[in-house]
């Protein structure tokens, strides 16, 4: 059965800290790994990863995929209170483009 | 990315009633997806809506409870029928984008509370 596991499930850090969020996956017919930030209702797209070892960056956020170890990380440097959110990791399959979501990591950044 | 409008944004409903959620996309898309996120849980796919054919439902979801319409390539509705408090969730529509549809984007979501 396909599954996506994230760790930690929740995290509290101080502003300025660097955090690493983990995502491991077992997804048959794997196509891509997706990261989202969910602050209220709608998840907003962060990254799509398809190849191992190629880091994607957007400002203070970066992510990388290891297709051999079936693992991805999301790094956030110099965290700000606006980074407080749930971060979702998801695996997209090639078959019918189905997406399997992990449970999310709830990040709280305190001043 | 496509602009995906969803309404209502939130609603409070009585047990036994039905609610229809609308999703409008500003471009034509082949597939639209409906997800549910129960409190404290992650996203679960309810069904895939294709224009011109019956929606494809995931295990645990049935058409009688969650009827879906897809009248054209920019619009879809999801109805939550005969609601119970267990249906209290965030409901999200989504579409694929990217050169080969490798990314999933979401509408603004509907927060449903059933009393």
Residue B112: pLDDT above 90? Answer: yes
- pLDDT, residue A97, reads 64
Closest Cβ opposite residue B42 in set A41, A44, A104: A104
Percent of chain A predicted with pLDDT > 70 = 97
pLDDT digits over B43-88, tens only?
999 999 988 888 999 999 999 999 999 999 999 999 999 999 999 9
Average of per-residue pLDDT across A56-72: 96
Residues 6+ apart with CB under 8 A from A68: A52
For range A48-58, the mean pLDDT: 93
Residue A13 has pLDDT above 90, yes or no: yes
CB B56 within 8 A of CB B41: no
Amino acid A81: pLDDT: 97
Residue in chain A closest to B6 (alpha carbons) equals A42
Contact between residue A82 and residue A59 where contact means Cβ atoms under 8 Å apart: no
Angle at B83 between CA B71 and CA A42, to 5 degrees: 60
Residue of A nearest to B92 (CA): A42
What pLDDT, in 10s, does the model give residues A83-103? 999 999 999 988 666 899 999
**Chain B environment of A99 (Cβ under 8 Å):** 33, 45, 104
Token pair 């077992």 in the structure block, residue: A26
Instruction: Report CB contact under 8 Å: B31, A43.
Output: no
How is chain A classified by DSSP, letter by letter? Answer: --EEEEE-SEEEEETT--EEEEEEEE-TTEEEEEEEEESSSSEEEEEEE-STT--EEETTEEEEEETTTTEEEEEE-S--GGG-EEEEEEEEESGGG-EEE---EEEEEE-
| pLDDT, tens only, A29-49 | 999 999 999 998 899 999 999
Inter-chain residue contact A103 with B41, CB threshold 8 Å:
yes
CA distance A7 to chain B (A): 14
pLDDT reported for residue A95? 64
**Of residues A42, A44, A19, A36, the one with CA closest to residue A91:** A36
Contact of B50 with B30, CB cutoff 8 Å = yes
Note whether A48 contacts B31, CB cutoff 8 Å. no
Strands B44-50 and B103-106: unpaired
| Lowest mean pLDDT, pick from A49-53, A68-72, B15-19 | A49-53
Report CA Rg, chain B.
Answer: 13
Partner-chain contact B92 A41, CB within 8 Å: yes
Tokens read off for A53: 């070892």
- For B38-48, what is each residue's pLDDT tens digit? 988 889 999 99
In this complex, the residue of A31, A41, A42 whose CB is nearest that of residue B102 is A31
Residue B64: CB atoms within 10 Å: 7
Which residue of B1, B38, B43, B107 to mutate against A (max A Cβ within 10 Å)?
A: B43
Q: What is the pLDDT of residues A21-31, one digit of tens each?
A: 999 999 999 99
Q: Say if the Cβ atoms of A48 and B43 lie within 8 Å.
A: no
Q: Report the pLDDT value the prediction gives residue A96, as an integer from 0 to 100.
A: 63
Q: Do B104 and A90 touch (CB under 8 A)?
A: yes
* Highest mean pLDDT out of A14-23, A48-57, B94-103: A14-23
Q: Which residues of B fall within a CB distance of 8 Å from A50?
A: 102
Distance CA A80, CA A76 (A): 9
């Amino acid at each position: 059965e396909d599954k996506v596991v994230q760790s930690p499930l929740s995290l509290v850090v101080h502003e300025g800290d660097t955090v690493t969020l983990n995502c491991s996956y077992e997804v048959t017919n794997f196509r891509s790994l997706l990261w989202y930030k969910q602050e209220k209702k709608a998840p907003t797209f962060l990254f799509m990863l398809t190849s191992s070892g190629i880091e994607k960056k957007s400002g203070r956020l970066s992510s990388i995929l290891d297709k051999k170890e079936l693992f991805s990380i999301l790094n956030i440097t110099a965290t700000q209170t606006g980074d407080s959110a749930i971060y979702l990791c998801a695996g997209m399959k090639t078959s019918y483009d189905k997406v399997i979501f992990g449970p999310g990591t709830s990040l709280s950044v305190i001043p | 990315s496509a602009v995906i409008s969803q309404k209502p944004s939130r609603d409070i409903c009585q047990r036994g009633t039905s609610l229809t959620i609308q999703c409008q996309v500003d471009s034509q898309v082949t597939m639209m997806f409906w997800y549910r996120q129960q409190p404290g849980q992650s996203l679960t796919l309810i069904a895939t809506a294709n224009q011109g054919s019956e929606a494809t439902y995931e295990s645990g979801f049935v058409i009688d409870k969650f009827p879906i319409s897809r009248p054209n390539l920019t619009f879809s509705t999801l109805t939550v029928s005969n609601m119970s408090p267990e249906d209290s969730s965030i409901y999200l529509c989504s579409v694929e984008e990217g050169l080969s549809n490798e990314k999933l984007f979401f509408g603004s979501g509907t927060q449903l509370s059933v009393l």
